[in-house]
């Protein structure tokens, strides 16, 4: 196993899948000549050529729409959205087309499509460019939504997404690209729709994913010094949502904090908390807490932006409140 960055892990998955399967190709803004705005596809254009690494106009609806069409013919397109904020410009094609065609035509149409999108706040990009709207997309049946928090999961989930017969939205967090971790070489697959326990503990369960896994882990490290043992469940996939490890952990700790970067209202935390109440009510020893983004469009000013985003201290505070 090599210790590589999230960026390298994603890049590796793409590269290996393109080498393995000629029906896999990439399209998106600045994926080719530029090498990807986050340098994920650096070197791809020279190696795979312009037919398989296709720079597109700035036109998100047709990027996703054309990817859907190509997928219907049996290809495996990977459509890159420069940021998830631009997914709103392709919203119809994502939620009204990609998520529905298979069902609506009685299973005839098959779209093995991956949409890669970079999300997350914290880089002073202002309100329209800093969103974490993962829950919005996870709302729609027919679409699979994954958001890895470690380099290994990024590689394994992306490979699974590319090989999947269903449309998958693969959400990468912009501030995780430099994060390092052990990543298995070669064919490493992490199945879609499987949550996992990232850290064992017995006092409280933190349910989280993506960037907030890092924040939650830091909080858990600090709490450990005070003798508080946190168990962390990483959802990894938001749809299908695998509650089994969450419930298993909760039945042991009887207390939960859900940490997400997006807004609290109608969010991932709301969903997970309700399911715990529905499925494990008898095990509840304290009201479940949610840590999430302040309910404001993110401001440019650095101090205000950081105030709005969930911080390690917020997680520690919430954990202490449920104990």
Partner 1 sequence: MEKREYLDLYHQMVVIRRLEERSAELYQQGKIGGFLHLYIGQEAVSTGLISVRRPEDRIITAYRDHGVAINCGLSAREVMAELLGKVTGCSRGKGGSMHLADVKKNFWGGHAIVGAHLPIAAGLALGDVYQNNKAVTVCMFGDGATNIGYFHEALNLSKVWNLPVLWVCENNQYGMGTAVERASAVSEMRQKADGYGMKSEAVNGMNVIEVREVSARLYEEIRNGSGPQFLEVITYRFRGHSMGDPERYRSSEEVKTWLENDPIGIYHRYLLEHQIASEEELQEQIRLAEEEINDAVAFAEASPEPPAEELFQHIYVEG
Positions marked active-site: 60, 129
Binding partner of residue 229 among partner 1, ligand TPP, none, CB cut-off 5 to 8 Å per kind = none
Binding partner of residue 296 among partner 1, ligand TPP, none, CB cut-off 5 to 8 Å per kind = partner 1
Which pair of tokens denotes residue 56? 């597109």
Cβ 35 vs Cβ 41: under 8 Å: yes
Which residues are bridge partners to 168 per DSSP? Answer: 114, 144
Binding partner of residue 20 among partner 1, ligand TPP, none, CB cut-off 5 to 8 Å per kind = none
Restricting to residues 68-87, which ones interact with ligand TPP according to CB under 6 A?
82, 86
Question: How far apart, in whole angstroms, are the C-alpha atoms of residue 235 and residue 243?
Answer: 8
Residues with Cβ within 8 Å of 20's Cβ and at least 6 positions away in sequence, in order, are: none
Please identify, using beta-carbon distances, which residue of 132 and 208 lies nearer to ligand TPP: 132
Binding partner of residue 297 among partner 1, ligand TPP, none, CB cut-off 5 to 8 Å per kind = partner 1
By the rule CB under 8 A, 300 interacts with partner 1: yes
Q: Determine phi and psi for 217, rounding to 5 degrees.
A: -65, -40
Restricting to residues 99-158, which ones interact with ligand TPP according to CB under 6 A?
none
How remote is the C-alpha of 299 from its chain's centroid?
Answer: 23
List 30, 214, 248, 279, residue binding partner 1 (CB under 8 A) = 30
Residue with tokens 């000013």: 301
Using CA atoms, how far residue 113 sits from 61, 154, 179, in Å, is 15, 17, 26
By the rule CB under 6 A, 60 interacts with ligand TPP: yes
Please identify, using beta-carbon distances, which residue of 117 and 256 lies nearer to ligand TPP: 117
31 closest CA partner among 87, 85, 79, 91: 79
Classify each residue of 18-41 as buried b or exposed e, where b means 16 or more C-beta atoms within 10 Å of its C-beta.
beeeeebbbbbbbbbeebbbbebb
Restricting to residues 61-120, which ones interact with partner 1 according to CB under 8 A?
61-62, 85-86, 89
By the rule CB under 8 A, 308 interacts with partner 1: yes
147 closest CA partner among 100, 93, 213: 213
Please identify, using beta-carbon distances, which residue of 16 and 60 lies nearer to ligand TPP: 60
Closest approach of ligand TPP to the CB of residue 122, in Å: 18
Please identify, using beta-carbon distances, which residue of 30 and 279 lies nearer to ligand TPP: 30
Question: How far apart, in whole angstroms, are the C-alpha atoms of residue 51 and residue 264?
Answer: 42
Please identify, using beta-carbon distances, which residue of 108 and 303 lies nearer to partner 1: 303
Closest approach of partner 1 to the CB of residue 300, in Å: 3
Closest approach of ligand TPP to the CB of residue 18, in Å: 23
Please identify, using beta-carbon distances, which residue of 60 and 153 lies nearer to partner 1: 60
Question: How far apart, in whole angstroms, are the C-alpha atoms of residue 207 and residue 280?
Answer: 15
Question: How far apart, in whole angstroms, are the C-alpha atoms of residue 197 and residue 8?
Answer: 24
Beta strands, E only, 6-143: 24-28, 53-55, 76-81, 114-119
List 66, 109, 110, 126, residue binding partner 1 (CB under 8 A) = 126
Binding partner of residue 308 among ligand TPP, partner 1, none, CB cut-off 5 to 8 Å per kind = partner 1
List 89, 175, 196, 222, residue binding ligand TPP (CB under 6 A) = 89
Cβ 153 vs Cβ 195: under 8 Å: no
Segment lying near partner 1 (by CB under 8 A), choices 14-22, 34-42, 95-103, 206-214: 34-42
Residues at the interface with ligand TPP (CB under 6 A)? 29, 58, 60, 82, 86, 89
Residues at the interface with partner 1 (CB under 8 A)? 29-30, 33-35, 37, 55-62, 85-86, 89, 123-129, 294-297, 299-304, 307-308
């Amino acid at each position: 196993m090599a210790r590589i960055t999230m960026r390298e892990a994603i890049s590796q998955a793409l590269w290996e899948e393109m080498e393995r399967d000629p029906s896999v190709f990439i399209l998106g803004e600045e994926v080719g000549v530029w090498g990807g705005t986050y340098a994920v596809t650096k070197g791809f254009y020279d190696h795979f050529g312009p037919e398989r690494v296709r720079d597109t106009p700035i036109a998100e609806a047709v990027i996703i729409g054309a990817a859907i069409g190509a997928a219907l013919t049996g290809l495996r397109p990977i459509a890159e959205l420069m940021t998830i904020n631009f997914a709103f410009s392709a919203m119809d094609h994502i939620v009204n087309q990609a998520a529905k065609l298979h069902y609506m035509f009685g299973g005839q149409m098959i779209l093995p499509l991956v949409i890669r999108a970079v999300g997350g706040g914290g880089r002073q990009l202002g309100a329209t460019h800093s969103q974490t709207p993962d829950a919005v997309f996870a709302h729609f049946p027919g679409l699979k939504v994954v958001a890895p928090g470690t380099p290994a999961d990024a590689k394994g989930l992306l490979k699974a997404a590319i090989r999947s017969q269903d449309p998958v939205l693969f959400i990468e967090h912009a501030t995780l690209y430099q994060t390092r971790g052990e990543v298995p070489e070669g064919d490493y697959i992490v199945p879609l729709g499987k949550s996992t326990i990232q850290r064992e503990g017995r006092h409280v369960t933190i349910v989280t994913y993506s960037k907030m896994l890092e924040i939650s882990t830091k909080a858990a490290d600090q709490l450990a010094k005070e003798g508080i043992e946190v168990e962390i469940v990483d959802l990894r996939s938001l749809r299908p949502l695998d509650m089994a490890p969450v419930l298993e952990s909760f039945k042991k700790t009887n207390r939960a904090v859900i940490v997400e970067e997006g807004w609290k209202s109608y969010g991932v935390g709301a969903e997970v908390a309700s399911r715990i109440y529905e499925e494990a009510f008898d095990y509840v020893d304290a009201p479940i807490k949610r840590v999430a983004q302040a309910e404001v469009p993110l401001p440019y000013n650095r101090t205000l932006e950081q105030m709005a985003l969930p911080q390690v201290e917020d997680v520690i505070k919430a954990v202490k409140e449920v104990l």
